[in-house]
Amino acid sequence: VKKNPSEPEFHQAVKEVLESLRVVVEANEDKYRREALLERLVEPERQFKFRVPWVDDKGQVQVNTGYRVQFNSAIGPYKGGLRLHPSVNIGIIKFLGFEQIFKNSLTSLPIGGGKGGSDFDPKGKSDREVMAFCQSFMTELCKYIGADTDVPAGDIGTGAREIGFMYGQYKRIRGLSEGVLTGKGLSYGGSLARTEATGYGLLYLTQELLKINGLELAGKTVAVSGSGNVAIYATQKAQQLGAKVVTASDSTGWVYDPEGIDVAALKEIKEVKRARLTEYKNYRPNAEYHEGRGVWSVKVDVALPCATQNELLIDDAKALVANGCIAVAEGANMPTTLEATEYLQANGVIFAPGKAANAGGVATSALEMSQNSERLSWSFEEVDSKLQGIMVNICHNMSDAAEKYGAKGNYVVGANIAGFEKVAEAMLAQGVC
């Protein structure tokens, strides 16, 4: 805390991971201490902070701050998204980068951990303004990334449009047509099923987790928060698997649709019109729209937080438990506070942490990198079936690790240990670096 003041989200993420690694660390105490393994683990290998000037539609110059944190490359090139949101600061990027190390390790694919972004807000900006920002951002970022060194992707505020503008600028400056970004459009090296991957992956893992606990997803009522990339495809896959999703939200309000969320309407509002959820009632007159927060007050069997960090608080956890919720799986990164997580676990709720549950996005990004390297494109079915296999594998790995270390059913502990072990082994094998 003294070394990195004013980074509460980073401290929160480190605390959660280190606490759950206690058993493993105690078993290897002398070695880890001598090698300063944990001290190295929490210190990014490198971090960049840069000026991003761009001209708005009125001819006014605007200035944003850009970040890229290259956290850990022990098991492969840095990999992690770019977040564009006014709340972005170095502490947020570091928390996301730190989490990414273990998530990427859990996928069993050779990718290290990194994260980046800017305090730029794409909301309400014209396409030309977004392009001006993205080009300026990439003009600086391109010095530090590459297909074999660091491969950024999308995250909050960075979708296909932003990735396209950034990729165009990278190619223009570096003269390289390479898989330097993932989440690219299908016409220039993107992978089928990448758009759907995080939401679909979340449901594949949730379904498997319920199964190993003797439960079924089909027939369950589900609350989803958010209405962006992860939320939309989580809702779609949940419905395909026979569950009923009854909520959606954005940063101003939320929707309750007792007949089940209309995914086509959601996609049109958020992806095509880039509008607010207030519009949902125009498509579904029987649905309710409420200002503010409230998704977790609805009586559901399964809760899938898919918006942002710290959006499921202790009172929300209490409401979920009181309403008989049996499982919470995190589509977003760290959406549940530590206090809320502990309350859910103490009350018998099956809890799947984001680093396992939302790893489908980065896993499919790594599959996009493989396709770019071999200059081939795989079919939707091929990518989707690999994704499914990866999520089922993650589910079993975290469950087995929890059991092995005496914490059966504690998937936070299981995911952290399973992710950590491989990174620790690689770091120790590579010497002091």
Binding-site positions for NAD(+): 198, 229
Q: Which C-beta is closer to ligand NDP: that of 340 or that of 424?
A: 340
For ligand NDP, the binding residue among 191, 198, 207, 247 (CB under 6 A) is: 198
Q: Does 228 bind ligand NDP (CB under 6 A)?
A: yes
- Count of residues of this chain found to bind ligand NDP when the rule CB under 6 A is applied: 23
Strand, coil or helix: 398: helix
Among 53-61, 126-134, 224-232, 239-247, the segment contacting ligand NDP (CB under 6 A): 224-232
- The single residue listed with the structure tokens 């079936």 is 385
| Alpha-carbon 433 to chain mean position | 28
Q: Based on the number of CB atoms within 10 Å of its own CB, is 400 exposed (0-12), middle (13-18) or buried (19 or more)?
A: middle
Sign of CA dihedral 109, 113, 117, 123: positive
Minimal distance, residue 253 CB to ligand NDP, in Å = 9
Binding site per annotation, positions: 79, 100, 103, 154, 198, 229, 365
Q: Does 250 bind ligand NDP (CB under 6 A)?
A: yes
Query: What residues numbered 283-312 form the site for ligand NDP, per CB under 6 A?
Result: 306-308
- The single residue listed with the structure tokens 């942490």 is 353
Q: For residues 298 and 290, give the distance between their C-alpha atoms in angstroms, rounded to a whole number.
A: 12
Q: Which C-beta is closer to ligand NDP: that of 73 or that of 247?
A: 247
State which amino acid sits at residue 229. N
Q: Which C-beta is closer to ligand NDP: that of 238 or that of 332?
A: 332
- What are the C-alpha distances in Å from 226 to residues 108, 118, 142, 294, 300? 28, 20, 31, 12, 16
Task: Name the maximum alpha-carbon separation found in the chain.
Answer: 64
Q: Does 323 bind ligand NDP (CB under 6 A)?
A: no
Q: Which C-beta is closer to ligand NDP: that of 173 or that of 275?
A: 275
Binding site per annotation, positions for substrate: 79, 100, 103, 154, 365
DSSP, res 174:
H
Q: Which residues pair with 152 in a beta bridge?
A: 80
Minimal distance, residue 388 CB to ligand NDP, in Å = 16
DSSP, res 336:
B
Q: Based on the number of CB atoms within 10 Å of its own CB, is 426 exposed (0-12), middle (13-18) or buried (19 or more)?
A: middle
Q: Which C-beta is closer to ligand NDP: that of 156 or that of 181?
A: 156
Minimal distance, residue 343 CB to ligand NDP, in Å = 21
Q: Does 226 bind ligand NDP (CB under 6 A)?
A: yes
Q: Does 336 bind ligand NDP (CB under 6 A)?
A: no
Q: For residues 206 and 202, give the distance between their C-alpha atoms in angstroms, rounded to a whole number.
A: 6
Q: Which residues contact 210 (CB under 8 A, 6 or more apart)?
A: 216, 217, 302, 326, 327, 350
Give me the phi and psi of 116, to 5 degrees please: -155, -170
Minimal distance, residue 228 CB to ligand NDP, in Å = 2
Q: For residues 100 and 113, give the distance between their C-alpha atoms in angstroms, rounded to a whole number.
A: 5
Per-residue interface string for the shown chain with ligand NDP, residues 354-373, x marking contact by CB under 6 A = ----x--x------------
- The single residue listed with the structure tokens 């047509």 is 177
Q: Which C-beta is closer to ligand NDP: that of 135 or that of 229?
A: 229
Q: Which C-beta is closer to ligand NDP: that of 301 or that of 311?
A: 311
Per-residue interface string for the shown chain with ligand NDP, residues 380-409, x marking contact by CB under 6 A = ------------------------------
Q: Does 229 bind ligand NDP (CB under 6 A)?
A: yes
Minimal distance, residue 375 CB to ligand NDP, in Å = 24
Q: For residues 339 and 324, give the distance between their C-alpha atoms in angstroms, rounded to a whole number.
A: 19
- Structure token digits, residue 92: 């947020």
Q: Which C-beta is closer to ligand NDP: that of 44 or that of 228?
A: 228
Element at 303 (helix H, strand E): strand 302-304
- Structure token digits, residue 416: 């952290």
Minimal distance, residue 226 CB to ligand NDP, in Å = 4
Q: Does 74 bind ligand NDP (CB under 6 A)?
A: no
Q: Does residue 115 carry a catalytic annotation?
A: yes
Q: Does 47 bind ligand NDP (CB under 6 A)?
A: no
Q: For residues 213 and 61, give the distance between their C-alpha atoms in angstroms, rounded to a whole number.
A: 56
Q: Which residue is nearest to ligand NDP (CB)?
A: 228
* Residue in 115, 184, 237, 244 annotated catalytic: 115
Query: What residues numbered 149-178 form the site for ligand NDP, per CB under 6 A?
Result: 154-157
Cβ–Cβ < 8 Å for 307, 332: yes
Among 38-46, 60-68, 228-236, 423-431, the segment contacting ligand NDP (CB under 6 A): 228-236
Interface residues toward ligand NDP, by CB under 6 A: 87, 154-157, 198, 226-231, 250-252, 306-308, 331-333, 358, 361
Give the active site residues. Answer: 115
